[in-house]
């Protein structure tokens, strides 16, 4: 190997040593991280859930009839469709989808996107920042609605789903829906994320168990690009009467599941 000969222009001289460079980078990152943490701290949610709405068929019936449309109108169409999931268009552009063999029927207001899964067991609905998913199944052994709702929150529906993070939940509420069915629900809020971005989400999981063993699981969720608190407020607004966007969906599911075959 030859010895270096004259070099007219060496590579650019560094102003700093390696340690200085690393130290400056670390201090810079710590300062920026501190600023980010402070912004996060100052805007931190107080995470206090307002009392979550728990619809019942009776409440739903009375209230929904005063709403922009009645979910009762979905029932005859649902009965006409037989086994589902099937979509039945109404005269006002709305549709209904029957889950299972008339186990439950969801009435879908105009403008919602609808998806159904194979096996006649589930339906997914979306409009703007609102999302709803419902599923019916019949377990081999009797289940408790509180246990089902808890499993929904702690399991793959929310906390074990890799898209959710920083999820906090409110109190579990259980009550009898009717002589035939009981319902349990848990409100929650947190973040929904993938590599492209993050949204605040707020919603509630519902588990309804009928005396004949059938289970109806429902998740209703709103999202917000501002915060989980804002998302939860949107969720509550969606359940407000008379024009809440999710009232018809939730009410029709609960009513038809309670009254269904």
Partner 1 sequence: MNLALVSTVMPHTNRQTGTRYRWALAAVSVLVLVFTLVGILSAAVTTAAVAVPLVYLLYLYDLNVWQDTPARVVGAVIVFTAVLGVLVALVFYRWAFADQFTQLLQSSSSQLGLDTLPVGPFLLFVVVLPIVATLVMNIGPVWLARRPEFDDMIDGLTFGVAAGTAFAATETIVAFSSVFSGSFRTTQGLTTWIAIIVSVMIVKSFVYGTANGIAVAAFSGKGEGYDGFTGAYVANVGLEILALVAYWAGIRLLAYADYGAWFGVVWGVLLLAALLVRARRYLHAALLEAALESAKASQRPRAAVTDGGDCPDCEMPLLPDAMFCVACGQSVRATSGQARGALQSPGVGNVA
* Minimum distance from residue 63 beta carbon to partner 1 (Å): 27
In whole angstroms, give the CA distance from residue 92 to residue 165.
39
Is the CB of 23 or the CB of 147 nearer to partner 1? 23
Helices of type H across 101-246: 145-154, 228-238
And the tokens for 120?
A: 């006649």
Name the one residue in this structure whose structure tokens are 């009717």.
178
CA pseudo-torsion sign 128, 157, 182, 257: positive
Is-contact 208 145, C-beta < 8 A? yes
| Residue 124 or 151 with smaller CB distance to partner 1 | 124
**Least distance (Å) from partner 1 to the CB of residue 175?**
26
Contact 211, 241 (CB under 8 A): no
- Closest CB to partner 1 among residues 64, 206: 206
For 141, the 3-state DSSP assignment is coil
Nearer to partner 1, 37 or 147 (CB): 37
CA-based max dimension of the chain: 97
Choice between 15 and 140, CB closer to partner 1:
15
Residue 120: which residues within 8 A CB-CB, separation 6 or more? 83, 84, 85, 99, 100, 101
How far is residue 51's CA from residue 208's CA, in Å, rounded to a whole number?
19
**The two three-digit tokens of residue 178, written as one number:** 């009717």
User: Shortest Cβ distance from residue 180 to partner 1 (Å)?
Assistant: 27
CB of 246 to partner 1, least distance (A): 14
| Least separation in angstroms between CB 144 and partner 1 | 23
Q: How far is the CB of 30 from partner 1 (least distance, A)?
A: 7
Q: Which is nearer to partner 1, 35 or 80 (CB)?
A: 35
């Amino acid at each position: 190997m030859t010895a270096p000969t004259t070099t007219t222009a060496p590579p650019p001289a560094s102003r700093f040593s390696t340690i200085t460079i690393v130290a400056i980078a670390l201090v810079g990152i710590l300062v920026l991280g501190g600023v980010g943490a402070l912004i996060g701290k100052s805007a931190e949610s107080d995470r206090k859930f307002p009392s979550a709405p728990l619809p019942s068929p009776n409440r739903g019936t009375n209230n929904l009839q005063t709403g922009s449309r009645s979910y009762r109108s979905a029932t005859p169409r649902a009965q006409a469709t037989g086994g589902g999931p099937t979509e039945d268009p109404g005269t006002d552009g709305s549709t209904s989808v029957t889950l299972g063999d008339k186990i439950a029927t969801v009435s879908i207001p105009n403008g919602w996107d609808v998806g159904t899964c194979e096996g006649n067991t589930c339906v997914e609905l979306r409009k703007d920042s609102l999302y709803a998913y419902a599923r019916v199944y019949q377990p081999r052994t009797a289940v408790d609605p509180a246990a089902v709702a808890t499993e929904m929150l702690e399991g793959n529906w929310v906390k074990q789903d890799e898209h959710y993070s920083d999820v906090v939940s409110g109190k579990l509420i259980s009550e009898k829906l009717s002589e035939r069915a009981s319902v349990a629900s848990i409100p929650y809020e947190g973040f929904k994320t993938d590599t492209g971005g993050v949204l605040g989400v707020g919603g509630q999981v519902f588990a309804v168990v009928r005396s004949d063993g059938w289970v109806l699981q429902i998740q209703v969720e709103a999202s917000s690009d501002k915060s989980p608190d804002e998302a939860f407020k949107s969720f509550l607004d969606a359940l407000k009467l008379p024009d809440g966007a999710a009232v018809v969906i939730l009410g029709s599911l609960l009513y038809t599941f309670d009254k269904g075959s």
